[in-house]
Amino acid sequence: MGGPSFFLKKLLEIFIRRSQIGKLCLRYFNPVGAHESGRIGEDPKGIPNNLMPYIQQVAVGRLPELNVYGHDYPTKDGSVVQDYIDVMDLADGHIAAACSSEAFY
| Residue 57 domain flag | yes
User: Does some domain include residue 74?
Assistant: yes
* Residue 26 falls inside a structural domain: yes
Is 24 within the bounds of a domain? yes
Q: Say if 14 falls within a structural domain.
A: yes
Share of the chain above pLDDT 90, in %: 17
> Is residue 56 over pLDDT 80?
yes
Q: Classify residue 105: in a domain, yes or no.
A: no
pLDDT band per the 50, 70, 90 thresholds, residue 53: confident
Domain interval for residue 60: 4-99
Asked whether residue 91 is domain-assigned, the answer is yes
- Give the confidence band of 10 by pLDDT, cuts at 50, 70, 90: confident
Select from 73, 76, 82 the least CA-distant residue to 52: 82
Q: Please give the tally of structural domains in the chain.
A: 1
Cβ-proximal residues to 35 (8 Å cutoff; 6+ apart), any chain: 41, 87, 88
Q: Is there a domain that residue 104 lies in?
A: no
